Structures are given as structure tokens and as C-alpha cells.
Amino acid sequence: MNYKELTEKLVDQCLRLGADAAEVYLQSSRSLSIRIRNADIETVQESSPMGIGFRVIVNNRLGFSHCNDFTDRSLTSTIERAIAFAKLTSPDENNVLPGDKGYTEIEGLFDQEIQNVPMDRKINMALELEELALKDERITHSSGSGFGERETETFIANSNGLSQSFKSGSCSISVGVVAQKGDQRSTGSESSSKRFFADLDPLPEIAETASQRAWEMLDPQPVRTQRASVIFDSRVSSRLIGGITGALNGLRVMQGASFLGDSMDKQFASDLITVIDDGTRQRILGSSPFDGEGVPTARRTLVENGVVRNFYYNTYAASRAGIESTGNASRGGYTRIPGIGTHNILVPGGEHTPEQIISQTRRGLLLNSITGSGLSSVTGNFSGGAAGFWIENGRIQHPVRGLTIAGNAEEVLYGIDMLGNDTDMSRSTVVPTFRVREMQIGGV
């Protein structure tokens, strides 16, 4: 079936059935997942999900429906359900669809090679990865390793003449292990997800990271409740930045549910912090030629040296704010109405190596795991469970776990006083290590 023609034809059908404006979003995917444990296959799953979503506007009212049965009868009745819903929702003049603004040319979103790699080789990679991760004698169990791949074709057409499509793919490999010592158990895992098969990180590197993460956290020692420096390593630093980007969502700002709502062009954080959203990076997972409703993606600076420079919007929120969409419509598949989200978040690195940051910390916590909510986009306050290493006089002393850390927006965000240079540009989210001068740490 020619899906491009189908989506265009269905837009016309929506209009015929009573919609004033309509958008048809179709996704067709193929995926494979292999799980290995204890040197044998645990699961092999293969699938080819597909489906279609209809967004219709009738008298400024919005209706949405989706189905994954492509028979004429089902498609027609699903459209009719969307139109029926659109007669019940509230009129809002901001319910508009984007016009055709073209797309952003991005190289390397699809790797034909992935599906050409034989099944046996994929299985053997996962087998080898598990074996490597179990090599260290401190590692006692495997939680399993795996290989996964997915390719997706996306088609969007709307009644403003927009008709776009693109094909994208990804593959990933991962492993998890356990280090048991007496009654103590510690887990470690690592994965590599890339658009290109050839870009996957080397197996020994992935295995060693997973293994080290498990054994290095054995024999933790308690620390007392106190205020001290907290170093967010690059595994967890994005959790804090995620709270900032969540607060720059244009709709949340208009709804008064963001702690940065009144901060446009104002300083709210340390001038070390710059945050860029870039949906156009080549060969990177979060990139795409257009967003979830067909608006071209771009590279935009959200925060510049601690100052808010831009909020981000989809078409609805932009119309409400009286501006143009920034190409930030997110879409959780064909079953979802477009939301608002970022593509690839990048925080440019600073001048210190992570080792220098540790050696210049008199007393504090090197954080490698955060659980819980993290930084709240509504209040800007930070709170969460924490684990990592305790630092005294610039040296790592011992692992710590079961701690809590907390701080209010001002002390955490202005408190960022050292920024690492460890930016791994092969990832979608790139946030280096940084230090917060002082936070409340809850221990014994």
C-alpha cells in the first residue's frame, strides 16, 4: 500500500465527512528484540506494529481517533468517531494545523545495514557482551543482555496541503549484571543506542562499564546528615537539566505551572549553564526532519549562560502565545495527540575534567544515581534518593547508598560552580558532569 497516497486520501475523506480541517498521521514499524541470559536465548520477539491517527477540527473544536485496522470500513468509522468527539469538546481558536513549511535535511536517520546483519550475529553479539560483563570475579549473576532494533516510517498529511514522510531506525545493545557479596547485592548495567549499527559502542567497553558499576558500589558506608557539595556525574546530570527544560515548555508557562514562567531574559541559574535543543544533529537518535505535526525542526538556544532565552512550542501553544511553532510538537506514536517536547538536549561543556572537579572538592558526594522526582518544573526545588561515592579532601573514600539530597531552586541552580568537559557527542542527551556547591544530604 502507498501510505503517502493513503494519508492524503484520508485527509480528503475527513473533510468530506464534515471536518473543517484534518490531519492524518500514520506510522508503520518493524522491530526485533533479543534477550540473552546465562549464555542462552531467553526471548526473541519480532513485530510490525502500525496504526493511524486522525486529528479533526470542526468549528474550532478538536477531535481525535486512532485505529490499527486499515480496512475501508474501519477507517471510515474511526474518522466519524473523531468528528463526533469534535462536536463535544470546547471551541478554541488556537486549534489550528500548521501549513507546509518544508522540512530540515538531516543525514543519517536510517541505516539499511541493521536489517542486513544476520540474526545469528546479533545473537552472538549479545552472548559475547554477557560473557565479557561476567568476566570480573566480583560479578556473580547476569540479569541478561540484549539486542534490539526498530525501523519506523512516519507519514503526516493535513488539509493545509502538508504531506511529509520520513524513515528512521535505531539499534541498541545492553547488559545488566549483579555483584553479590554475602547478603549484599549490587546491580550495574550499560547500554548503547544508536541510529547506525556501526556506531554502537565496542562490546568490551559496554561490558566493563556495567561490571564496574555493580562491583564498585559494594560495601557502602553510612554518612551523617549534613550540607556538602554534590557532583552530578554525566549519568545523572541530565536529570537536573530535565527539570529546567520541562519548565521552558511554552504551554506550561502560559498555564502558570512553571517556575521559569516570569524569567524570560532573566538570570535564574549559574552563568556556566547553557542549554540548547537541537533536532537536526546527524546520525543522532532524537533528530528528525520535522516534528510531530510536520513543522521543520531546528537548533535553538533555550538558556544562555543562566539566562532564559526561549520557550518552546507546538502549533497550538504557539497560536495561543501569538507566535510561530518552534517545531517542538512531540508525538508518542499514532495514538497520541501532539504534545510539546524537546529533541536532543545539549549543555556545552566547561573547562574541568571530572577528575579535577573531584580533586577540588573538600567534602561531598559524587552522585551516580538519582531516584525519585529530581528537579520539579513547577517549583524548581530538587529532591530525590541518591547513591554514589563519598569524597573527603579531593579523594573518593567509599561508596554510599540510601541517601537523600534536596535543595531549593536558587541554591541548586545558582550553586552550580564547576562544569565538566566530558561531553559525549554520540548521545542524544549531552550533559557533562557538574558540581553544586552545597545541598542538603540526608544520611544517618
Residues in 143-172 at the binding interface with another protein, rule: CB under 8 A: 143-144
Of 193-201, 268-276, 297-305, 435-443, the window that binds another protein (rule: CB under 8 A) is: 435-443
Of 33-41, 130-138, 192-200, 287-295, the window that binds another protein (rule: CB under 8 A) is: 33-41
Query: If binding is defined by CB under 8 A, does position 42 make contact with another protein?
Result: yes
For the segment 334-353, give every residue that binds another protein (CB under 8 A).
335, 337
Total residues at interface with another protein (CB under 8 A): 79
Query: If binding is defined by CB under 8 A, does position 124 make contact with another protein?
Result: no
Residue of 6, 13, 15, 50 that binds another protein (CB under 8 A): 50
Query: If binding is defined by CB under 8 A, does position 414 make contact with another protein?
Result: no
Which residue number, 346 or 441, has a Cβ lying nearer to another protein? 441
The nearest distance, CB 92 to another protein, in angstroms, is: 6
Query: If binding is defined by CB under 8 A, does position 371 make contact with another protein?
Result: yes
The nearest distance, CB 249 to another protein, in angstroms, is: 13
Residue of 163, 165, 172, 187 that binds another protein (CB under 8 A): 187
Which residue number, 37 or 101, has a Cβ lying nearer to another protein? 37
The nearest distance, CB 354 to another protein, in angstroms, is: 24
Phi, psi of 340 (to 5 degrees): -130, 130
Which residue number, 396 or 406, has a Cβ lying nearer to another protein? 406
Sign of CA dihedral 114, 120, 121, 123: positive
Query: If binding is defined by CB under 8 A, does position 67 make contact with another protein?
Result: yes
For the segment 125-144, give every residue that binds another protein (CB under 8 A).
141, 143-144
Distances 184 to 181, 189, 194 between C-alpha atoms, Å: 5, 17, 34
Of 7-15, 194-202, 228-236, 404-412, the window that binds another protein (rule: CB under 8 A) is: 404-412
Could you tell me which residues come within 8 angstroms of residue 32 by beta carbon, excluding any fewer than 6 positions away? 44, 45, 46, 122, 147, 148, 149, 150
The nearest distance, CB 281 to another protein, in angstroms, is: 26
Of 230-238, 357-365, 397-405, 419-427, the window that binds another protein (rule: CB under 8 A) is: 397-405
Residue of 106, 284, 367, 403 that binds another protein (CB under 8 A): 403
Query: If binding is defined by CB under 8 A, does position 428 make contact with another protein?
Result: no
Q: How far apart are CA 57 and CA 95, in angstroms?
A: 7
Which residue number, 66 or 281, has a Cβ lying nearer to another protein? 66
Query: If binding is defined by CB under 8 A, does position 86 make contact with another protein?
Result: yes
CA quadruple 234, 238, 240, 243: dihedral, nearest 10:
180
Which residue number, 104 or 189, has a Cβ lying nearer to another protein? 189
The nearest distance, CB 429 to another protein, in angstroms, is: 19
Query: If binding is defined by CB under 8 A, does position 69 make contact with another protein?
Result: yes
User: 370 - beta bridge partners?
Assistant: 386
For the segment 265-304, give every residue that binds another protein (CB under 8 A).
none
Residue of 1, 2, 72, 88 that binds another protein (CB under 8 A): 88
CA 4, chain centre distance (Å) = 28
Residue of 108, 242, 348, 385 that binds another protein (CB under 8 A): 385
Query: If binding is defined by CB under 8 A, does position 444 make contact with another protein?
Result: yes
Give the closest residue to 52 by CA, choosing from 132, 141, 134, 155. Answer: 155
Residue of 255, 282, 305, 360 that binds another protein (CB under 8 A): 255
Residue of 9, 12, 39, 41 that binds another protein (CB under 8 A): 41
Residue of 6, 13, 51, 201 that binds another protein (CB under 8 A): 51
Residue of 70, 110, 166, 196 that binds another protein (CB under 8 A): 70
The nearest distance, CB 161 to another protein, in angstroms, is: 24
Contact 51, 68 (CB under 8 A): yes
Task: Bin 241: left if φ > 0, else alpha if -120 < ψ < 50, else beta.
Answer: alpha
Query: If binding is defined by CB under 8 A, does position 1 make contact with another protein?
Result: no
